[in-house]
Amino acid sequence: MPYHQLFYHIVWATKHRQPLLAPDIEPIVHNLLRTKAIGLGATVFAVNGMAEHVHLVASIPPAIALAKFIGQIKGTASTRFNKGGHSATIYWQEEYGAFTFDAKRLPNYIAYVERQKEHHAQNDLFAVLERTAGETANLLYTREESASYHSEDDGWRNEMFEFDRQIIGSPT
């Protein structure tokens, strides 16, 4: 497998945002999601959510397309749960939100997902990380606006050298 650092924060909701993930059902569904994701080669860092939506933080290998990965974990989890003899059924909406980030911010995303119930109770949310549908976000840099972007930014280079030192043991 090729070396990769592809980190994703993925969020999706139950069908019609119905509160289907009751406290007794939630751990079962989260385990099914985690198991399928790992089976597809992902490293799962966090799974959590509320009664009507799920957040997943994972590193997904480049060999599988993101949309296929999400479709398979959602489909497998709901199918296995629904055929598992439970009194409830789980259905997902088609839409989802997917966000990439770097390894340096991985602990922040894990903490955000692990503390979902607390964040919702206190209304301390990042709206962009709760989105599952809608228009594509405006990008900071488009080809026309890229003249102001400095690719030789010393701060970024120093950050990358420090990252190399921590991960590999010496700068490249």
Give the tens place of pLDDT for each residue, 132-141: 886 555 544 4
Statement: residue 108 has pLDDT above 80: yes
For residue 75, give both structure tokens: 């489909």
Quote the CATH superfamily of domain 7-135.
Answer: Transposase IS200-like (3.30.70.1290)
User: What local confidence, expressed as pLDDT, does residue 124 receive?
Assistant: 82
The tens digit of pLDDT for each residue in 43-66 reads 999 999 999 999 999 999 999 999
Question: What are the DSSP E strand ranges found in the chain?
Answer: 7-14, 43-50, 53-59, 92-101
What would the pLDDT profile of 15-51 be if each residue is shown by its tens digit? 999 999 999 999 999 999 999 999 999 999 999 999 9
pTM of the model: 0.80
Domain residue spans in the chain? Answer: 7-135
Sign of the C-alpha dihedral computed for residues 106, 111, 112 and 113 taken in this order? positive
Tokens 């985690």 belong to: 34
